[in-house]
Amino acid sequence: MYKKSNNFLTLSKNNCLFMKKKFVLLLAIGMLYCCEAIFVENISNTSVSILAPTHGATIPEGLVNFNWNAVADATSYQIQIATPTFSNATQIVLDTTITKTSFSKNLPVALYQWKVIGMNSDYETTATIQSFEIE
């Protein structure tokens, strides 16, 4: 394994070759892991499928439950609520990002629009917008 030469320890040829092979293997594994982390799925051509409240829904005043289907490769969701609409908003009631596929909020009587956008580290889906009314 080690040979004594001129008062110094040196590695044998076989041991050096083994260490080089081990280093190359570790380097290859590290590169494979890094490359996997670089590729993020492009979700920009997809949209979120809303479950509730759907377009035109009328809901009693109080706690409103917002629900949607998960988007493959999305890691979070941006939810926005405006009154009465996004294009003519008098108020943005909510603008938040969460990792779940549901959210609840108490809302007073009014007309609303809400939208949800799926996101990952590099991309986001198109916005899905629905209008509803609280009576």
Report all structural domains of the chain as residue ranges with CATH numbers, in order of start: 2-38 (no CATH), 50-134 (2.60.40.10)
CB 46 within 8 A of CB 117: no
pLDDT per residue as tens, the chain (135 positions): 555 555 555 556 666 666 666 666 666 566 655 555 578 899 999 999 999 999 999 999 999 999 999 999 999 999 999 999 999 999 999 999 999 999 999 999 999 999 999 999 999 999 999 999 999
Q: What is the DSSP string of the chain?
A: -EEEETTEEEE-HHHHHHHHHHHHHHHHHHHHHHHHHH-----TT-B--EEESPTTEEE-SEEEEEEE---TT--EEEEEEEES-STT-SEEEEEEEESSSEEEEEE-SEEEEEEEEEE-SS-BPBPEEEEEEE-
Alpha carbons 51 and 100: distance in angstroms, whole number:
14
